[in-house]
Structure 1
Amino acid sequence: MARCEANYWRLQRVFPAMDREQSRCVGIAAQGRANAAVNVVIEVTERTPYTTLLFIREERAGSNEIKPSTNKASAMLWAQMPSLKVRLYHDAKLAEVTAFENARCVRPKNVYPNNKMVQRDEKAQWNRFLEEWLSLCIEHGYVAKRPAETFDTVED
């Protein structure tokens, strides 16, 4: 529960105008690696008085076309980029991952082994991934539409 509360505040820091804007693009540049920069795109898909549903995905920055190659680093470009659906509960100040890629409706604790081979703590792993992703955005990200602005220079 504490992780969901902390993720709510991290999302507020990364996307402070989510009540007014439809999307936010955060760029993350990888140091020393060509073609490794990514954008984390956060889109509002639903707003209600007490909740907001977000779709968060990662995409390669500045690359519309990926060419096949035998190079191992280039082969990684073919890997699926992560995506999450996150519901924010504004009254409780919580952010919960409700879907990871195409998987959804996972119980907080699962019996293992099971038919879908879902880990015992799958839901907790999703929320931990969101925590790490948002922390990366806060520490190393910049607002992609205004590259001069970083999260360190934005006044709270």
Structure 2
Amino acid sequence: MLVTDTKTRLRDHQNDLSDLMAIYECNYIRLRQLLREAGAYDLDVTYVSQVPRALDLHLYIHERSRYTTTLTLTYLFADEQGEFPAPDIRVRLYHDARLAEVIACGRRRGRRDAVYDRMRNRYSLDRKWYMNRFLQKWLGYCLRQGHRFTPPGQTDAPLPDWEGLLSGMVR
């Protein structure tokens, strides 16, 4: 009975603004793990993270200001029509609020016509939640694979052992 009640509650759960803000926060943290220093990358240059047995992850910084950075993350695929990016996600990082939001997404699941553009359209809270939740899961996947971008001119420093640090704190 408990399992059925839990499934019913999850299915009937309505996403609210606090859920969306929590995803924005998580996305910011994961992007900072992936990018290390967001301000150290040159504009209009494509960076590539290569990991054995994984697709190359491409990063492109569109704009950067004191409070925001806009970037695109994607994989590149090829088919009979040529090369195309997918999922081709454009994200805006809000450094002062420590949030990251999907502002555009195209070509999901290989469909060239799939487009989400928050800057030109009004979307429901559920649709924004869905797109940003996708980014959250994808960033987690990329980080687990070992993807990291190193700023130009810097060596790839090892990341802290968070599990070891946390287990040392809990006795």
Once superposed, what is the RMSD of the aligned Cα atoms? 3.1
Look up the match of 2:32.
Answer: 12
TM (normalized to structure 1)? 0.65
Structure with bigger gyration radius: 2
Q: What residue number does 1:51 align with?
A: 68
1:27-46 aligned within 5 A? 27-30=50-53, 37-46=54-63
Counterpart of 1:139, as a letter, is R
Superposed, 1:4-153 pairs within 5 Å as 4-22=24-42, 24-30=47-53, 37-60=54-77, 81-101=86-106, 102-105=115-118, 106-109=121-124, 121-143=126-148, 153=158
Listed as ranges, the gaps of 5+ residues in structure 1 are: 31-36, 61-65, 69-76, 111-120
Match of 2:61, as an amino acid? V
**1:91 corresponds to which letter in structure 2?**
D
Deviation per residue, 1:59-96 (Å, 9 max, x gap): 25xxxxx576xxxxxxxx98862111100101100000
Q: Can you list the C-alpha shifts for 1:14-61, whole angstroms capped at 9, x where unaligned?
A: 00122111354233554xxxxxx311212211001111101111125x
Question: CA 1:67–1:7 in structure 2 vs 1: closer, same or farther (change >3 Å)?
Answer: closer
Cα distance in 1 for partners of 2:140, 2:100 equals 14
- The normalised TM-score by structure 2 is 0.60
Q: What is the distance in 2 between the residues matched to 1:99 and 1:144? A: 21
**Whole-Å separation in 2 of the counterparts to 1:42 and 1:14:** 10
Percent sequence identity over aligned pairs? 32
Separation of aligned partners in 1, 2:148 and 2:41: 14
Question: Structure 1 16/107 Cα, relative in aligned 2: closer, same or farther at 3 Å?
Answer: same
User: Quick check: which one's helix share is greater?
Assistant: 2
Counterpart AA for 2:137: E
Q: Deviations over 1:95-147 (max 9, x none)?
A: 0000011430243417xxxxxxxxxx2221110111111101111124488xx
**Separation in 1, partners of 2:144, 2:90:** 22
Contact 2:50–2:147 (CA under 8 A) maintained in structure 1: yes
SS at 1:92 equivalent:
coil
Q: Aligned partners of 1:150 and 1:49: how far apart in 2?
A: 25
Pair 126,17 (structure 1): closer, same or farther in 2 beyond 3 Å = same
Pair 1:24–1:107, CA change in 2 (3 A): same
2:6 is matched with none
Whole-angstrom distance in 2 between the partners of 1:79 and 1:42: 14
CA 1:132/1:28 → structure 2, altered by over 3 Å: closer, same or farther? farther
